Amino acid sequence: MLRSGHIISLLSVIPALATADSETPLPLVIWHGLGDSYQAEGLQEVAQLAEEVNPGTYVHIIHLDESDGGDRQATFFGNVTEQVAQVCDQLASEPILSTAPAINALGFSQGGQFLRAYIEQCNSPPVHNLVTMGSQHNGIFKFQSCASSGDWVCRGAEALLRYGTWSDFVQSRLVPAQYFRDVEEYDSYLKQSNFLADINNEREEKNALYKKNLVSLNRFGMFMFAEDTTAVPKESAWFAEVNQTSGEVTTLRERPIYKEDWLGLRTLDEQGKLDFETIPGQHMQLTEKLLTEVFAEYFSSAVGGDDLARFLLTQSS
């Protein structure tokens, strides 16, 4: 329930939001994927494009280390639960983000499910629109191969995998292992998963906060790469489950996570806030044209005003 003080304070700012904020894009937060770094040229170009498409956009690229090499290494090694907590602190302490009425969020590959975890676990500042591209929301059942035999960070991760996916040691240190999900080893996954089983509310005891925070989204756009052979299965980008033997796909709407609304995905879908989108090509093969369309659709100044006022009301309920 809204307390009267909240109603009065929000009503006092709604008229201003409907005018001034309708011309000012919300800040945009980006979380990159495995093997990337916040200082990478490609990410800097994405940030620049976001500002060009929606002038005035403040872009913050999430980083887990100040150095280029350290940030890249953190995509392979680290405790994801602790990393998400670190990002919660990072965004809450960033002056421009923490004083904004809300932010938009863009996650590339594993950065997508990590941003969703941020929303579920802290969401301060609150996320207005979330877009994930090629993200492994329902996990992976195959680890991607290292691009180069000389990539010692990646090779070190592979060596850890041989130690045992479900060991406490690996589950607290190897990032991709923490969103590995094999239905043929489902009991081990539920018991040992350090990250994914928790944020997907798959265990018997559900976290009501996760659902409450996720349904507060104004819009959730899930993009899948049509020919993706890096994130396996590709349908994980849409929370679908794939039989490893037959290849049969069980869509999100056919699964208990949706039917019983463990995370609020059914609620979002019934409200028209859940988008299933397809991108042609392989994993993370993004064109400027596509990104321009996404930025205009999900992150433009048009999401301010009345739309933002309604969103703020949901945050205070």
Question: Which listed residue (32, 60, 128, 283) is catalytic?
Answer: 283
Per-residue pLDDT at 108: 98
The sign of the torsion formed by the CA atoms of 114, 177, 191, 183 equals positive
Question: Which listed residue (109, 135, 193, 216) is catalytic?
Answer: 109
Provide the domain limits for residue 70.
26-138+208-299
Indicate the angle between helix axes 110-121 and 80-93, nearest 10 degrees.
70
Question: How crowded is residue 15: how many other Cβ atoms within 10 Å of its Cβ?
Answer: 11
Longest dimension (CA), the chain: 62
145 occurs within a structural domain: no
196 occurs within a structural domain: no
Per-residue pLDDT at 306: 52
| Two structure tokens written together for 196 | 């994914």
Whether residue 317 is predicted with pLDDT greater than 80 in this model: the reply is no
55 occurs within a structural domain: yes
| Two structure tokens written together for 248 | 């049969």
Q: Are the CB atoms for 239 and 258 separated by under 8 Å?
A: yes
Question: Which listed residue (21, 198, 228, 307) is catalytic?
Answer: 228
Q: Are the CB atoms for 63 and 177 separated by under 8 Å?
A: no
Q: How many domains does the chain have?
A: 1
289 occurs within a structural domain: yes
Whether residue 3 is predicted with pLDDT greater than 80 in this model: the reply is no
What is the DSSP secondary-structure string of 106-138? Answer: EEETHHHHHHHHHHHHT-SSPEEEEEEES--TT
144 occurs within a structural domain: no
Check residue 246 and report its DSSP letter: T
266 occurs within a structural domain: yes
CA nearest to 275, candidates 131, 128, 103: 131
Confidence bin at 148 (pLDDT 50/70/90): low
Catalytic residue at 228?
Answer: yes
Q: What are phi and psi of 5, to 5 degrees?
A: -65, -40
Per-residue pLDDT at 315: 60
For the segment 252-267, the average pLDDT, to the nearest whole number, is 98
59 occurs within a structural domain: yes
Whether residue 18 is predicted with pLDDT greater than 50 in this model: the reply is no
5 occurs within a structural domain: no
Catalytic residue at 21?
Answer: no
Per-residue pLDDT at 159: 75
Catalytic residue at 283?
Answer: yes
CATH number of the domain that residue 134 is part of? 3.40.50.1820
Span 170-222, pLDDT tens digits: 999 999 999 999 999 999 999 999 999 999 999 999 999 999 999 999 999 99
